[in-house]
Structure 1
Amino acid sequence: MSERYSRQERFAPIGKEGQAALMDKHAFIVGAGALGSANAEMLARAGVGNITIIDRDYIEWSNLGRQQLYTEEDAASMRTKAKAAEQKLKSINSSIRVRGMIQEFNAENAEDLLEGVDILIDGTDNFRTRLVINDATSKRRVPWVYGGCLQSYGLVLSIIPGETPCLQCLIDYIPDQGGTCDTVGIIGPAVQTTAAYQTAECLKFLTGHPMSPEMVSFDVWGRNYSSINVSKLIDTACPSCSKEAVYPYLNKEKGLKSDRLCGRNTVHIRPAHSINLSFPLLTKDLETITSKVKESGEILSFQIEEKRFVVFKDGRTLIHGTDDVKEAKELYQRYIKA
């Protein structure tokens, strides 16, 4: 075991002292998809002592081309990404603490989840969640590393509350590439390059080195690279990080919540409050109207006509086969009754 981190310790900026410091740190990763799983594996192998990874989704066959922690068996079993990631990371490094959380990172739980966290890594695929991350980290004074990738492009930015501009300050400077991975695709090298920059920034901070003030963007297919120093772009009237900050994205929604999953013809429904569904009772009710009910222990799925439902124990449900929010809410209330 003494040899485990020897090559990393020989890297002068980390050394033995930096390696020892890593074991006392807590990295929190939002999203266990492509970026999240790549960052999580590198941090686990690097010896970061406490890793939490949170994700609301399950593993599909289309994930396997770029989400490196998962296998065909995971996809066939429709395992949740958070728990599959937790199991894999523990098998990679049994000397660290790993926790996979099957839930959404949102305005209701963000501040509590950041308690005791040293740094947050963005592994999400939507800007709404990133803005929640931005407000929560700003309010809690937790540094984080933004990462985005699509097609063959990637972008990375380190944010330190109170020292650098936040994501809201830079909203007009971040390019809108258009589309999603589901609509315009992505290649693995774009994921790996983005994650490599993110993990490097994370290791810098956790071992006492300054993170880069530059926003880096690149195209691994076209072999293009650019960077811009954003340190002077702080908005003194920013609603998310100024002295008068109101943290607009931490406002809690009331009632049944929903959002469309772009490019997937799917609506994500969330109950007003987190609950603990009884899968056996729900299965009993559903079996009177459909024979297509499956339960993996972590999630329950069933199909009624052209709609496929994937239900999580906290009541969250993905309704595939529609992008009509009103219809999805009606279906949820009819069949889930949470």
Structure 2
Amino acid sequence: MLRLDDLQLFVRTADAGSLSAAARALEVSPAVASAALKRLEGQLEVRLFARSTRSLRLTPEGEQFLGHARAALQSLDDGQQQLAGGKAAISGVLKLSAPSDFGRNVLLPWLDAFQQEHPQLSVRLLLADRVADLFRQPVDIAIRSGAPEDSSLVALPLAASNRRVLCGAPGYFARHGVPRQLDDLRRHNCLLYMLGERVHDRWSFTQGRRELSVAVSGDRVSDDADVVRRWAVAGQGLTYKSWLDVAADVQAGRLQLALGDYLGEPTPLNLLCAHRAQLSKPVRLLREFLQARCAELLAQAPWLNTPD
């Protein structure tokens, strides 16, 4: 039977990267901490850390076991809260990854509001457009658009009906005109996004039952989706973005929609985690909070508000 204090010591050591730091945090002596780690490795019959005189790092087996140890400790904590009537405030550190544009311009104020509701909760936010490796990187959950490439991940919907929209700044349309047909995009400066060395220069739409796409080009490409949106707001060209990313700009008049007769590409927003055991109370509450906020933005989506 694995001991709870041994699991706590293991997780603290992995987070701190130091056995002595974990021992101080748990208020035990280095000798007790070392004995606990050896006991856990003996019970599991694996080495959890590769140790030298100057460094300590997780072994592949340690990385694999870390998620299970976290989930076990969180499950016990959730059980204690339920026995206490579910009234205990959520606390601890919630580690999440989010895309650059959505994270900076949409998620940040939402997280502020969420932490105001749960002041004992700390947030560690990583912003990157590349999909976080939830088995290796120090995050609990990731927020990503589209279907997950890794079918082993658990994907929970946040905004299943989200789509891309074509838009540009009023000043850009005043200078270059508003596209009326899909082929018109070939003569416009289209601001392009690049992910994993791939430039997304073919934009797909539907019109009725027809699926259509057009090859586009422009004088600006970035691997940061926030940069592409900023270029569009500055009037440098057209952008084809998630509605959630540009809804505030559209509502404020900084961007205007175009090609309203065409339906943009589906871009569902999902919450990803490596194991269902990671769906702790803070994660579940955050998901409910984000679903509600996304629903407010989607209520104003143009494809849901087209007159019959």
Tell whether the structures are fold-level matches, with TM greater than 0.5: no
Answer with 1 or 2: which has the greater Rg. Answer: 2
- More helix per residue: 2
Question: Which structure is higher in RCO with an 8 Å CA cutoff and minimum separation 6?
Answer: 2
- TM-score, scaled to structure 2: 0.28
